[in-house]
Amino acid sequence: MTENISANIDLFLSTIESRGRSKNTVTNYRVDLEQFREYLLRQDIPDVSEIDAQSVRVYLSNIIGYGIAKTSAARKLSAVRGFIKWLSSREILDYGVAAGLKGPKLPSSLPRALSCEDTEKLLVEGPEHGKHYQRDRLVLELLYGSGLRVSELIDLNWEDIETDQRIIRVIGKGSKERLVPFGKGVKKLLEDWRPIPPEGKRGPLFKSEKGAERLTVRTVHRLVQKAAMRIGIYGVSPHTLRHCFATHLLERGAPLRVVQELLGHESIAATQRYLSITAEQMKRSYLEYHPRAHEQ
């Protein structure tokens, strides 16, 4: 009955993909659910109709017991919970099977944001002067200047960009579209980057040189990390620049709702965490610079 589990996993993944879940999410869920399938078979559960709440709880306990990071365990449980709810909607399982299933408590960590000075230095001095200088400058500027996710960046096409209006049409999570502005500096970089002649130019903004149609996520991560390391900053990722985008806007008084729209957050709660970042940075700045901060 292995085919029964595998077939249902395939159908579930096809369903969520058709509903707009990203390719990365579907890929991760496939890995997680294949692991869950192997666990079920080891527990002599050959059919999805035999899954119960206890088997899922034991599975989660086993995952945490093996030392897997809590964030990974939470993602795996999310995949399993989604799968079970889908089975319930098809009346293969009872709706109560997924009830009360809780993942591990995740540590509350604030996203890291660079200072404006360090960010400026990264954008200007980070890219290596060589074959990919123009590309790397443009990648860094778009990640920070427009707050793009790395997946949104590599999916950009020339036809998504209104250079004169300085607007990008971004397809974000769940295939939701939003319009994001960019600065005059990015406009100049785009004009320099656009192949000649530009008339009728279509297709990927950033093409790969190694056979793939587009730049890969790994390539973007690598170029961002190398640029940061050149100016002596470590632990920087493409998402760091997105954090900087949001944090710096809020520090300068941008309305939370506007930042939410620019980031493409479905819930304003996802944007509100940046308020905690700015408050923390304000506290650090106060303690460091105010002459009365440490008076008894």
Could you list the active site residues? 149, 173, 239, 242, 265, 274
Tokens at 151, concatenated: 């997946």
Give the residue ranges of DSSP H helices in the chain.
2-18, 23-42, 53-65, 70-89, 116-125, 133-145, 150-154, 184-193, 217-230, 238-251, 256-263, 268-289
How many residues are there in the chain?
296
Tokens at 262, concatenated: 């620019």
Dihedral class, residue 168 (left if φ above 0, else alpha if ψ from -120 to 50, else beta): beta
Distance CA 146, CA 168 (A): 9
Contacts of 113 (CB under 8 A, 6+ apart): 240, 243, 244, 246, 247, 248, 277, 281
Q: Which residues pair with 121 in a beta bridge?
A: none
Confirm if 86 and 12 have CB atoms less than 8 A apart. Answer: yes
Confirm if 244 and 250 have CB atoms less than 8 A apart. Answer: no
